[in-house]
Structure 1
Amino acid sequence: MGNLKPFVAVVDDDDSVGRAIKRLLHSVGIGADTFSSGDDFLDMLSSMPSYRPGCVILDIQMPGLNGLEVQRRLGGSGIPVILITAYDDVGVRAQALASGAAAYLRKPFNDSILIKTVQTALGIVPAP
């Protein structure tokens, strides 16, 4: 009673990816809000101080602010960041993880790996 359902912010300029992740997370009881740009997500955070996702999934390559820049701006917020990308680059991966990303996943990712990664970031112990 009184427990808020965990939710995640999904930031990806490809709306179909955002919808797919939202459906996937919903299927395991995790809510998700989708944003089509880093600017939209950061605007929501700054305009609504009570808005606090349990973690954020960020696409790295987006028009405007890319995922790494959004991650940098979230520094110190305590919000775990999971970065996703279709264009894996060892240097970018190293930079993301060194900057504190909880995970770095390459698209297309395995659904169960994404779910476990999000559950870990949210501090949820998956059911056996």
Structure 2
Amino acid sequence: MNNATRSVAVVDDEESVGRAIQRLLKSVGIDSDVYTSGEAFLEALAASAPHAPSCVVLDIQMPGINGIEVQRRLGGTGIKCIVITAHDDTRVREQAQAAGAVAYLRKPFDDSALIGAVHAVLGVP
């Protein structure tokens, strides 16, 4: 996991989506690490303590531990979540927002919306 104080983790079971988000973030000077499962991210987070990302871009629908469960497990860590999903569901949106998601974006999302959300979390003007 990245040791930078303003780092971003991208968690999406579709590797191509994770890499595309990583390239997008890199294009605006933001480093990120990509994980293809909630389990892989949580394991890396536990192994890298106390170095945690400032933000996680988190897919909701993943095999194994889904995004809502990852978000629940992050409660109290101070890690901000930006939720992304291909299947917008009112109940899931409400759960994500109740758990503190700072943004909820439906795939395919506008690049500027994601960059804006990440910049807001990182405190970038």
- Report the TM-score when normalising by structure 2: 0.94
- Structure 2: runs of 5+ lacking an equivalent: none
8 Å CA contact 2:59–2:83 kept in 1: the answer is yes
* Partner Cα separation in structure 2 for residue 57 and residue 28 of structure 1: 16
Structural mapping, 1:54-65, within 5 Å: 54-65=54-65
Task: Say yes or no: does 1:16 pair with 2:16.
Answer: yes
Partner SS, residue 65 of structure 1: coil
Q: Distance in 2 between matches of 1:77 and 1:6?
A: 15
Amino acid at match of 1:62: M
Moved more, 46-55 or 15-24: 46-55
Q: Distance in 2 between the 1:81 and 1:5 partners?
A: 16
Name the amino acid aligned to 2:39: D
- 1:97 deviates by 0.3
Pairwise CA distance, 1:91: 1.0
Alignment of 1:18-97 (within 5 A): 18-97=18-97
- Paired residue secondary structure (1:104): strand
- In the TM superposition, residue 5 of structure 1 has moved relative to its aligned partner by 6.9
Superposition TM-score, scaled by structure 1 size: 0.92
Structure 2 CA distance for aligned equivalents of residues 50 and 23 of structure 1: 26
Q: Percent identity?
A: 61
Aligned length: 122
Displaced runs of 4 or more, over 4 A: none
Q: 3-state SS of the aligned residue for 1:116?
A: helix
Shift of 1:47: 1.3
- Structure 1 contact 5–30 (Cα < 8 Å) conserved: no
